[in-house]
Amino acid sequence: MVEEHRELIQVEELAALLGSGAHTVLLDVRWALGDPHGREHYAAGHLPGAVFVNMETELSARPGPDTGRHPLPTAEDFAATVRAWGINDDSEIVLYDDSGALAAARGWWLLRHAGFRGVRVLDGGLGAWKAAGHPLETGNNIPVPGTAAASWDQMPVIDIEEAAAFPARGILLDSRAAERYRGEVEPIDPRAGHIPGAHNRPTTANLTADGHLLAPEDLTAALAELGVESGAPEVAAYCGSGVTAAHQILALETIGVHAALFPGSWSQWSSDPARPAGTGEQP
């Protein structure tokens, strides 16, 4: 596996990598909440050689009130999935989507959790690739199975009890839209509100208008307002179901802050009527 740790890759870097002869696996994580047609979008146009990744069946286990809407897959299931994507131990892995990496980051996080280091997210995603004039292909790619030996538990994770106690020792970031954090609306989960003591940092605030991640200096300045900075207290992130919180962690990694994920997130928390729900602005 590649030892150098870089989270993002730019379009021209990727084009050069694909032309270099290195064994590169492209993963297309075309998913958005409420849109079940990811595979159809992929088949209509994707980066040459890219493999479609299914959020519901490959990046998540079966949902339930005790685990949330997108629980983590088991180590065994994910190891089999990684090999089915055609990944070997020496593969360069690049993930992308068409939604600012809000979906691709979940795949990035799981691959890092499984011990892969040569894994990056295409900054700007599908839109940046097309804007640079690079070609797309249609149809479906079926890769030759890989031989990668995945591990597990390589990224920090907190459970629901740790999430409840986390604000007492660190900074818990709620990655959802501000109106959901404040408890004004809740279109998906059983109750509105947020985990008491959590701070709101919508993942969309980490993106430019064209879907690129903010420059490190801009991210650093914005997150410092919440007390998040290198060497600060521990940081953890959650969202609705543990998907876009991975994007928060990706953004934090680019500025040297290593945060934990609460996989069950609000979907698990709000399913337990005994768990309190905060409302209103930042604590």
49 dihedral zone (left: phi>0; alpha: psi -120 to 50; beta) = left
Q: How many CB atoms lie within 10 A of CB 214?
A: 18
Bridge partners, 9 (sequence order): 122
50 is catalytic: no
CA distance 275 to 202: 22
SS3 123: coil
- Report the C-alpha dihedral over residues 181, 185, 188, 189, rounded to 10 degrees: 60
CA distance 13 to 122: 9
H or E element, residue 238:
strand 234-238
Q: What angle do CA 38, 17, 155 make, to 5 degrees?
A: 60
Candidates 177, 219, 239, 250; catalytic one:
239
Residues annotated as part of the active site: 239
